[in-house]
Each structure stands twice: as structure tokens, then as C-alpha cells.
Structure 1
Amino acid sequence: MLRVLLLLPIASYRNQDFLDAAHKLGVEVVSAADHCHQLAPQRGLSPILSLHFDQPEAAAAQVLASLGRRVDAVLAVDDAGVELAAVLREKLGLPGNAPEAVRPTRDKLAFRRLLQQNGLNCPAFYHLAGAAEARILAAQLHYPVVVKARRLSASRGVIRADDAQDLLQQVRRVSRIQSSADRDASELGLIVESFIPGSEHALEGLLKNGQLRVLALFDKPDPLDGPYFEESIYVTPSRLSGELQAAIADSVQRACAAAGLSHGAIHAEMRVNDAGVWLLEIAARSIGGLCGRMLRWRLGMTLEELILRHALGLPIVQPEPSDASGVMMIPVPGRGIYQSVAGLEAARAVPHIDDIRITTVPGQRIAPAPEGASYLGFIFSRAATPAAAEAALRSAHAELVFDIRPDVVLAKSTA
């Protein structure tokens, strides 16, 4: 029986989808997770279930000490584990991207430098090591610009600034967000880059022997002009011209080659304008959240099954694409405590709606971008055209009413 090691962050939406795909394929799963290392022993959990994914060398040593029999593949379920997965594959002699190829894809500053050094479209960018540099830089920039945390994902810690005063305010805010989410925040600093106008898109692909196979190209029909950049709707197939779609694939292929990425799932995001294709990021993993579920009709299997087949060297037969499909990551309208949702029955009855999954649980504290790191849930559609798939998502969302209560903070007594 084939055996796969899955790196399963406890907060990931996707763990069950990967486990289900492995079960369907009859693959034995070895689970590794990031439960609290202090609480794990009290709960009887083995060391392999309390890894520090952000300390890949130490975590790899823990895994290898607990692994026992050899595995045939190592996969990270989402972004948190991709560098650890690369380290493990290298130590185990398994196919995959080298750790040094993965690292620049997890750091926005390193990725910008990679693009610049290899002649790919790249906005003007600056590394802000601290507040003093921000005050100097603020008077020199051409606005608008975007302030970004270096290693966060899903639009977290990304804010547009339109003038010098705005820049200083947003630098302080993004610094707070990064400090709350990254243990290395004080050493990282921030990145400030020129705002790139244009339409935004995403590409899902697989690399094999360095060659990119495009699985889907998505349009993001809602304008993402700031000040925050919370993603919402993805629709495929893209309505871009064939020439632009080819240019996107070529840019992604070139960036992957520049980084040294050669194997496995790739998720890339980009903007397109009259100056061409501008890569925002490339991740050595598949699309996040539950968004991959929109591709099962296009792929003839779940995305997770396809990724497992690819990693294990199993055959992949992909049907000809037929219908259009879409997903809405249900945006968080405001900070508070989620209570409930009404209108699900009406939303599910909207023509072309395939499924609706509310992933937030009652009592959960939520926040929108740029502080928030999750969505209320996901709406999926399938229709004859991209326009119909998009319209169905908007109609279904309009039926939903969310009860979100204020998050009351009790003041300390002065008595």
C-alpha cells in the first residue's frame, strides 16, 4: 500500500478533503500537525502531531524520529507547511521542490527581488526595516503604494496608502498585524511597493520536470483597488483573450524556473494591464480554503485527488473542460462574534448553485481584511457560461443574512 505523509495545520479548511481523497485512492496516511507542543503531551498526542511548521529543520527531525516505515510522498495541505514538506522530501530522497526554491515564494520581499533579477514585470518596491525608514521614504514615494506584511497570505496585512500621512498610518497598522501573526516580525520589516492597476486573475497548475500544466485560469471579477484587498469571487474559464492567457502561463512558467520550482502544485496570482502581466505571488501549493472544490467537474476528480495522484506517480486522466464554475469566499462584513446565518434554503435554491458551506461556527470571533484570516464560508456555482456562474454566486449571497454581534471588550476596573 502506498503511504503519504500529510502536513495538516489544525486551522486549515482543507484537511478533510485531502484525507477523503487519500481514502478514495486506498493510500495510507501518516498525519503530522501543529497542535500546541505544551498541550499535546497532556492529550496523549505523539511528537509528530505537535510540530512547529515555521521551524522546518527542527520539525523535520521530529518527523523523521517518529516516522517508522518509509513514505512515498510528503504533502503540505496549505501554505504553513510547504517549506517543511520540502525539507522532508529532500531528506527522504523524494521528488519535489528544494527548500531553497520554496523559500522565496513564502516571502513577498524575496519574491519581488526574484522577479526583478530575472527580468519579469515588477513594481518599484522598498524594504522597510523600521519606522524611521518609513518617515524618510514617505516623502520620496510616488503614490498610491501598497504596504504588505512579508509572509502573510489571503490579503492579510495588505493595505493601500494614497499619500505620505496615509503611508505612516498604514505602516503602523500592518506592523501590528504582522507582529500578531509572525514570531519573526521584528526581524522581517515590511515591503512597500507601487500599486499595480488592472484586472486580477489566478492560475492553478501542476509542475512536472519543470514544465507547467495549467489546470485552470480564474478571473476575479470584483475590482481589487483597495484600501483593502479581500478576495471574493473566482470564476473559470477566464474571459481573457487567448493571447493574454498564454502570456500569463508564460510568466508563471518563467517565474517558476527562476525560483527553481519544478514539481507539484502551483497557485499564482497576477494583475493584467496594458503593460502586460504582473505576478503578485506564486505559491508552491494549491489554491487555499475550500476553493478547489469548484474544479472537480473540470478535473474529473477533486483537486486533492489529482494532487495526491501527481505526488504518488499515479495516472491522471483529465476530461475535456465543459461548464463554467465559480466560488465566492463569503466576505466578513465587520468585526464581531458570529452567531448564525439565515436564508440558506433560498440561497441554495438559486439556479446554478452547486453547494454552500458555512465554515464559521457560532461564537467564533471574526474580522475582515486586513486583520482577518478567514471567511464566513464558500458558495459554489456551475453554469454554462462564466457570466452565469458569477451571477448565481451574487444572487445566492444576496439571500444570506448573517447575525454578527459586537465583540465587547470589558474595561479594567479602576477601583
Structure 2
Amino acid sequence: MSANEKTVLLLTTPQSYRADAFVSAARQLGIALVVGVDLPESLAAQWGVQLHLDFSQPETAVTHIIEFAKKRPLAAIIPVDDAGAVLAARASRELGLPHNNVAAAEAARDKHQMRQMLAAAGVNSPKFKRFSLDDPLSEMNAQVLAEIGFPCVVKPLYLNGSRGVMRANDATELAAVVSRLRGMLPSGADFLVESYLPGVEVALEGVLENGRLHPLAIFDKPDPLEGPFFEETIYMTPSCLPDEVQQQIVETAAAGAAALGLQLGSVHAELRVNEAGAWIVEVNGRSIGGLCSQTLRFDMGLSLEELILRQATGLPVSHLQREQQASGVMMIPIPHGGILRGVRGVAAAQAIPGVDEVTITAPLNNRLVPLPEGESYLGFIFATGNAPAEVENALRQAHAQLNFQIDEEIRLAVIGNQ
């Protein structure tokens, strides 16, 4: 490592798709990247992990990062996933590195805290109330009727990727989704019930510099996300919404980030847009998940990961603009649970005009779990074109070429001696 080469610590999880993209970006920029993974020590050697950390024990993890930094000084710490955002803020604070306030990172991770801070700041967001899985259903239903109304959305406080997020249209459905949530969360865990926000859903990708939001892209989500579950499929950019609506989206996302106290680094916000304006679904202090960052390229062909690393090491990024070509991704949904035995049609899908790549990420002979319990996709389809409609058509045509063989699981019942 040269004397001028900067070292950045990347915090990630074994489930993340993003580490390789950051490693490649760091190589392009001449930045030394150390990957810290939420992994037990016993598995670290098998994975070839440079720095193993337990994200669930932040004080111990911060100590390990400080000890590492004594031997190899760090220029920045970047969280890839929500799970590492609070740890990154805590460790950066101890090391005197640029960072988000720890309370802001915690608020972006805790959906109830986020809702409280958005409401206190007057940012457009749904009505909400916190409940426990131990609360009597009759009391819960009465409070939802009085304070939230139907339809409503049940949402875990900490799960990501739409896991556990379910719509209930009446008291009977509320009881059913709460029962389903009991199978996903620890006994007595808390969760939110929010008012359902009608309208189209969009995502905003941006970066914060000294608290100022610089939007990088607005993604349209052409498939309706109306429940009963909220599985995301297609992201497309640039947005087809009118300019004034896009400005509302940027302003609302900026207000949401400010309400949480986020000041620096990546922001990924989810919003709903209707006749009453733009409404915050979530604001996250991290970049877009999965492989979706591949849809974004900036001046000089920079990837999103290169842009993030540039900012983290003190280089300006607010002047960088997204390439104007329309692009999109389909996160291939899991149609039903079972064991993935085979995939056909990948070559035919990749041959569709406009399709750039088809990546199947689900391993064969492994169990598939769809939403709301699951947290993964079968893979990703990427496309580019002259217009968003062209991209959407290419993605849908490619998806139609794919055939997944998913066998039902065989459950063996053990019957004792009678």
C-alpha cells in the first residue's frame, strides 16, 4: 500500500450482494478497501474475511475496529446495509472520522423512532401506533379503528426489504396478519400499524453533504404496490412523473433526512405520491440494496459505488450527473416457496433487445421463501434503452422467458410408538 493510498472500511453482511461491486470500485479509484463482515470468528477463516465483527454487540465491534485502525488507519467507514449503519456511526465517532450522528443512524434503523421524528418535524408521513405481539387483539383493533383506520399496514420495527409488511383491510385481516407476524418475530416483540398510503410508489437515491441532499436518481415502480404484501419488482429511471412532482419528491426526502438528523453519505428513500403530495415511507442512511446499483452510471462512467467511495474519501460528488440513458432492473420475485431445482430460459431472456444482463442469484437445491417471510429474490434482470417504457417492456419480455422449477418441500412427520 502506498503512503498516499487511503483505507476505507466497508461494513456488510454475508447476505449482501454489494461487496464485490465496492471492491471493484475501490480498485478503480486506488483506494484500499477492508471488508468487515457480520460473521462469527469460527466462520471468518472459511470465508477469508479480513475483519469479522458481531453487529449485534456494537461495543465489542467498535473496540475491534479501533484496534484494527491502530495498525491500519482508516479514512472512512461505510455501511452497505442497514445492519451496519449504527455501528459505522459509533466507530467513526470514536475514531474522529466524518460520520452521521449516532442518534440519526439509530432513527433510520428503527421504524418507530423514524415515524416519531418525521411527525415531530411535520414531514408528510402516515399515522402510526406502536403495538406489542402480546397486546389483546380486541384492544388493538379498537385503537386501530380510533386512531389509524382501515386499510392499514402492519410493519416490523427492524426488518428490511418489505419483510413482514402486510396490509389489513379490516379487523379480521388485522388479526390474521398479526398472527403471521408472530411466526417471524420474537415473543412479545413490538411492531407498527400505519395508515395505508394510496398512490404510486417511488424511490430516491441521493447523497448528503453537510446536511444538503443531492439527488442522484428517482426510480419509478410501475407495478402497483397495494398489498396484501409489498414485494418490489421493477425500478426504472429516469422518472416519468412531471417535473413539479419530482421536485416534491426531492424536497420531501430532504426534509425526511433532515428530520432524522442525517448529514453525510448515502440516502435511500421510499415515498408514495398522491394528490396530497409526496409522503415518506422510509428514509435509510445507506445506498440502494441488492444489485440494483448497476442501473446507475454517472459522469466518466462512474458506478454508484465509486461515487460513494469518492465522497467518503473527501472528493466532491455533488457535480456528478447520472447518464441520461434510461435504465431499469427487475428483482425477480419468488412465485411460491419450495426447493429451487432448475432455471431455464436465461439465454432467451438475455437475447431480448435492450436487456443487458440476467443474473440468477438464488442457489440451486436451496429453499425459497417468498414474502412476507422471505428476504431474497431469484435474481435480477437489467435493461437499458432510449426511454423508460422501452426499458420496462424489455424487462417484462425477459422475465416471461424464464422458467423456474420449484419443487414442493417434503415434510416428514415422525410418529411415535402408539
Partner SS, residue 357 of structure 1: strand
- Contact 2:223–2:234 (CA under 8 A) maintained in structure 1: yes
- Contact 2:22–2:306 (CA under 8 A) maintained in structure 1: yes
The equivalences for 1:49-60 within 5 A come to 49-60=51-62
The equivalences for 1:364-383 within 5 A come to 364-383=366-385
- 2-structure distance, mates of 1:251, 1:373: 28
- Contact 1:35–1:50 (CA under 8 A) maintained in structure 2: yes
Indicate whether 1:343 and 2:350 are aligned. Answer: no
Matched residue, 2:114? 111
Higher mean displacement: 49-58 or 65-74: 49-58
Higher mean displacement: 11-20 or 54-63: 54-63
Question: Structure 1 205/299 Cα, relative in aligned 2: closer, same or farther at 3 Å?
Answer: farther
**Amino acid across the alignment from 1:81:** G
**Amino acid across the alignment from 2:383:** S
1:6 to 1, 10, 15: 10
- 2-structure distance, mates of 1:177, 1:268: 25
Identical aligned residues as a percent: 45
User: Per-residue deviation at 1:11?
Assistant: 1.2
Matched residue, 1:154? 161
- 2-structure distance, mates of 1:106, 1:121: 19
Question: Structure 1 24/275 Cα, relative in aligned 2: closer, same or farther at 3 Å?
Answer: same
- 1-structure distance, mates of 2:210, 2:241: 28
Higher mean displacement: 200-209 or 106-115: 106-115
- 2-structure distance, mates of 1:197, 1:40: 45
User: Per-residue deviation at 1:77?
Assistant: 1.6
Matched residue, 1:27? 31
Runs of 4+ in structure 1 off by over 3 angstroms are 40-46
User: Per-residue deviation at 1:225?
Assistant: 0.4
The equivalences for 1:282-321 within 5 A come to 282-296=283-297, 300-316=301-317, 318-319=320-321, 321=323
User: Per-residue deviation at 1:319?
Assistant: 4.8
Q: Could you tell me which runs of 5 or more consecutive residues in structure 1 were left unpaired when the two chains were aligned.
A: 180-184
Question: Structure 1 133/19 Cα, relative in aligned 2: closer, same or farther at 3 Å?
Answer: same
The equivalences for 1:16-415 within 5 A come to 16-37=20-41, 39-40=42-43, 49-67=51-69, 68-140=71-143, 141=145, 142-179=149-186, 186=188, 188-296=189-297, 300-316=301-317, 318-319=320-321, 321-415=323-417
Partner SS, residue 85 of structure 1: helix
- 2-structure distance, mates of 1:70, 1:350: 48
Pairwise CA RMSD of aligned residues? Answer: 1.8
Deviation string, structure 1 residues 184-211 (Cα, Å, up to 9, x no partner): x74x411001111110000000000111
User: Per-residue deviation at 1:414?
Assistant: 1.7
- 1-structure distance, mates of 2:122, 2:280: 12
Partner SS, residue 121 of structure 1: coil
Deviation string, structure 1 residues 360-402 (Cα, Å, up to 9, x no partner): 1111211111001000000001000011111110000000001
1:15 to 15, 19, 23: 19
- Contact 1:152–1:178 (CA under 8 A) maintained in structure 2: no
- 1-structure distance, mates of 2:408, 2:321: 48
- Contact 1:21–1:305 (CA under 8 A) maintained in structure 2: yes
User: Per-residue deviation at 1:275?
Assistant: 1.2
* Aligned length in residues: 407
User: Per-residue deviation at 1:409?
Assistant: 2.1
Question: Structure 1 17/220 Cα, relative in aligned 2: closer, same or farther at 3 Å?
Answer: same
Question: Structure 1 164/120 Cα, relative in aligned 2: closer, same or farther at 3 Å?
Answer: same
Question: Structure 1 322/194 Cα, relative in aligned 2: closer, same or farther at 3 Å?
Answer: same
User: Per-residue deviation at 1:44?
Assistant: 9.9
- 2-structure distance, mates of 1:374, 1:320: 27
User: Per-residue deviation at 1:238?
Assistant: 0.5
User: Per-residue deviation at 1:54?
Assistant: 2.8
Give the TM-score of the pair, scaled to structure 1: 0.94
- 2-structure distance, mates of 1:377, 1:275: 35
Higher mean displacement: 298-307 or 386-395: 298-307
Partner SS, residue 408 of structure 1: coil
**Amino acid across the alignment from 1:205:** G
Q: Could you tell me which runs of 5 or more consecutive residues in structure 2 were left unpaired when the two chains were aligned.
A: none
Partner SS, residue 289 of structure 2: coil
